[in-house]
Amino acid sequence: MTEVVQGGGRGYEDPWPPVRGDYHVVDPLSAVAVVTLTSPMILRGCAIFGQCKTENLGIEKIVANVISNCNIRFVIICGLESKGHLPGNTLLALHKNGIDDQGRIIGSKGAIPFIQNIPPEAVRRFQDQVEVIDCIGIVDAEEIERLIDQCSRQSAPYPAEPFQVVKRRSVPAHIYAGDADMTFGSGVVMDASAWLVMQVSEGG
Amino acid sequence: MFRFEREQSRVNIGGVVIGGQPGELPSVLCGTIFYQGQKLVEDEERGIFSRPAAERLVSRQAELSEETGCPSILHIYAKSIEAFGKYLDFAEEAWGGAFIIDSADPATRMAAAALVSEVGYADKAIYNSISLATDESEGRALGESEVDSAIILAYNPSQPGVEGSLAILETGGGVRKNGLLEEAREAGVRNLLIDPAVLPLGSGAGSALRFSVAAKARLGLPVGSGIHNAVSSWPWLSGKDAAIKKSCDASAAAMQLLAAADFLLYGPIENAEIIFPAAALADILVAEAVRDLEIVPAKVHPLHRLV
């Protein structure tokens, strides 16, 4: 349920980033985004930095915010990994391998590594637009800032329009409720006069 | 507040009874201790913590249980098996009741299930959780342990929403060969507690409420959730005063109980002070709402203790 919209002369459209999350925006014209995993860090010189603790929704937000800014050509993954969830490992796997038909991130060792809210073409754009730099385990902000500086010197904006992941409103489907007054969906209805919740089969 | 046509099963874990029709049994409240970032934990890998602080918290949860009638369970989070061993020793001395085994690390969860079996506490333990992430080795380890109670996490990222959550439980939802309920039973789990997995606000947190009603209607099993996750992950709320955050925690808890939940994973055990009154209030309102529908509140219900 997504579509690509065009636009953006500076490499991104306002408001950027389009998806809310646990991050800080520094300079949207910078070429570098930094994912600090579970480690709280304050960084200068990058476009955006923030923590990521989950291997599904958190990864989706990173992808959506990165590909909506063509200036970003590098994603540095640093800080301490989230045990069990492994978002750092998962982001590396996503960039390297992409997703399968069910949205599972191929090769991830995370617990539930799925992409559900962004289309496959957004993943391909992420793979194409940025280089991912594996600094997992590094928590020294100065070291990361030196790397940001190096990356910034060797990049040009991605030669395309910003990729916006926009949710399209779906048409409400008719839900069968039988003779009951209320429905909870999934074949569950309520007869309000008897205050009774029950399961019904479609059509009868 | 609903009355379900389908019979609603009850489970008894270490003396704590969970389930039934809304209004029958008091809600079961599970506070988390030793979670990541909790101030009393000094070394989360080795399980070093302030024992007096931990004792105060579990004692307070027990006192509030006694006062309100809402039973409680200690939700133990551990980063490593070394830490879990120490937490378990503490729980046996300071708590003694039912507890939840939890860790983000599957190896720690498996080792914890083995440890509680070895020391004879398996009948009081609840494994958190069986989910899409549970692989064959974890299922086998759980089966080899004596733990027979588990939370089944109905998270289905390939099909978000209520239907997808039910599908992962019943059929595997296209991402597993079998449904999680079947896999749990194969792993020796007899007491199944259903949890919809609460997502952040904006990502579908509200579906946990409708799921709770739908799951009880279709499965007849006890249902509950960690609805506090929707509150704690809400960026807009993060800069607000503590009192505002607490009001949202209490509201979310009451809403989940109104939506037919039998238990709450209410988050940090420090929140017991606000969650128990909110849950007792919700329990009383629900019990009174169904009073003339042949649903009789249990003797220990807050209705009989607080009004």
What's the mean pLDDT in B82-88?
98
Q: By the 8 A CB rule, do A28 and A16 touch?
A: yes
What would the pLDDT profile of A23-62 be if each residue is shown by its tens digit? 999 999 999 999 999 999 999 999 999 999 999 989 999 9
Calculate how close chain B gets to A94, using CA atoms only, in Å.
Answer: 16
Token pair listed for A20:
């809310």
Eight-class DSSP state of B63: H
CA angle B66, B68, B72 (to 5 degrees): 60
Mean pLDDT of B77-84: 97
Cβ within 8 Å of A, B 33-62: none
- Among the ranges given (A160-164, A194-198, B5-9), the one the predictor scored with the smallest mean pLDDT: A194-198
Mean pLDDT of A123-149: 97
Same domain as A180, residue A161: no
Query: In this complex, do B79 and A83 lie within 8 Å of one another by their Cβ atoms?
Result: yes
Contacts of A20 in chain B (CB under 8 A): 202, 235
Residues of A in contact with B6 (CB under 8 A): 198-199
Least confident of A167-171, B98-102, B180-184, B231-235: A167-171
Q: Is B278 or B204 the better-scoring residue by pLDDT?
A: B278
Do A188 and A116 lie in one domain? The reply is no
- pLDDT at A8 exceeding the cut of 80: no
Q: Which one has a higher pLDDT value, A195 or A37?
A: A37
Which chain A residues have a beta carbon less than 8 Å from that of B1? 195
What chain B holds in terms of domains, given with CATH numbers, is: 15-293 (3.20.20.20)
Tokens of B262: 């039998």
With an 8 Å Cβ cutoff, is B230 touching chain A? no
The pLDDT of residue B266 is 98
Examine the pLDDT at B130 and tell me if it is beyond 90: yes
Whether residue B113 contacts residue B141, with contact meaning beta carbons closer than 8 Å, is answered with: yes
A1 has a pLDDT exceeding 60: no
Q: Do B217 and A188 touch (CB under 8 A)?
A: yes
Is residue A6 scored above 70 in pLDDT? no
- What's the pLDDT band for A170 if we cut at 50, 70, 90? low
Task: Return the structure tokens found at A99.
Answer: 């997703």
Which pLDDT belongs to residue A111? 87
**In angstroms, what separates the C-alpha of A11 from chain B's closest C-alpha?**
26
Per the document, the length of chain B is 307
Judgement on whether residues A157 and A204 belong to the same structural domain of the protein: no
Residues A181 and A103 in one domain: no
* A130 & A188 share domain: no
Residues A19 and A109 both lie in one domain: yes
Which amino acid appears at position B17 of this protein?
Answer: V
Contact A189, A182 (CB under 8 A): yes
Tell me the residues of A at the B interface, defined by beta carbons under 8 Å apart: 20-22, 56-57, 82-85, 102-104, 111-112, 114-117, 184-188, 190, 194-199
Which DSSP string do the residues of B165-233 spell out, in sequence order? HHHHHHT-TTTSSS-HHHHHHHTT--EEEEE--PPPTTTTTTHHHHHHHHHHHHH---BEE-THHHHHT
Structure tokens at B163: 């239907």
| Alpha-carbon separation of residue A182 from A196, B6, B286 (angstroms) | 10, 17, 19
Write out chain A residues lying below 8 Å of B235, CB-based. 20-22
Residues A92 and A109 in one domain: yes
**What is the Cα–Cα distance from A87 to A167, expressed in whole angstroms?**
24
Contacts of A183 (CB under 8 A, 6+ apart): A175, A176, A177, A189, A190
CA distances from B261 to B161, B184, B195, B222, B227 (A): 17, 21, 9, 7, 10
Percent of chain B residues topping a pLDDT of 90: 90
Nearest-angstrom CA–CA distance, A26 and A42:
10
Among the partner residues A56, A185, A197, nearest to B2 by beta-carbon distance? A197
A43 and A108 assigned to the same domain: yes
Q: Is residue A139 domain-shared with residue A178, that is, in the same domain?
A: no
Residue A169 DSSP symbol: P
How many domains are contained in chain A?
2
Same domain, A157 and A66: yes
For residue B132, pLDDT over 80 is answered with yes
Closest C-alpha to A117, from A60, A58, A52 = A60
Q: Taking 70 as the threshold, does the pLDDT of residue A4 lie above it?
A: no
Q: How many angstroms from the chain centroid is the CA of residue B167?
A: 21
Tokens of A162: 């910003």
Q: Are residues A28 and A122 in the same domain?
A: yes
Residue B105 Cα, gap to closest chain A Cα (Å): 5
Strand, helix or coil for residue A59: helix
Measured CA distances, B263 to B96, B260, B298 (Å): 19, 9, 16
Return the closest-CA partner of residue B108 out of B136, B131, B76: B76
Please list, in sequence order, all residues whose beta carbon lies within 8 angstroms of the beta carbon of residue B129, skipping any fewer than 6 positions away. Answer: B102, B150, B151, B152, B153, B195
Residue B196 has pLDDT above 70, yes or no: yes
SS3 content of chain A, % helix, strand, coil (to 5): 20, 20, 55
Residue B271: DSSP 8-state: G
Helix (H, G, I), strand (E, B) or coil at B140: helix
Nearest to B104 among A84, A102, A198 (CB): A84
Judged against a pLDDT cut of 50, whether residue A5 lies above it is answered with no
Lowest mean pLDDT among A167-176, B138-147, B193-202: A167-176
Look at residue B202 and tell me whether its pLDDT is greater than 90.
no
Same domain, A87 and A64: yes
Assess B293–A contact: CB distance below 8 Å, yes or no.
yes
Say how far apart CA A46 and CA A13 lie, in whole Å. Answer: 18
Are B105 and A84 in contact (CB < 8 Å)? Answer: yes
| B202 Cβ under 8 Å from any chain A Cβ | yes
Instruction: Report whether B271 contacts B223 (CB < 8 A).
Output: no
Closest CA to B133 of A55, A38, A122, A112: A112
Domain range enclosing A182:
173-204
Please answer yes or no on whether B103 and A84 come within 8 Å at the CB atom: yes
Mean pLDDT, range B37-46, rounded to an integer:
96
Task: Measure the N-to-C terminal CA separation of chain B; round to a whole number of Å.
Answer: 19
pLDDT tens, position by position, B286-300: 999 988 888 899 999
Helices assigned H by DSSP within chain B: 51-68, 81-94, 106-118, 136-144, 162-170, 180-186, 207-219, 228-232, 235-238, 242-258, 272-289, 302-306
Look up tokens 């449904």; give the residue: B179
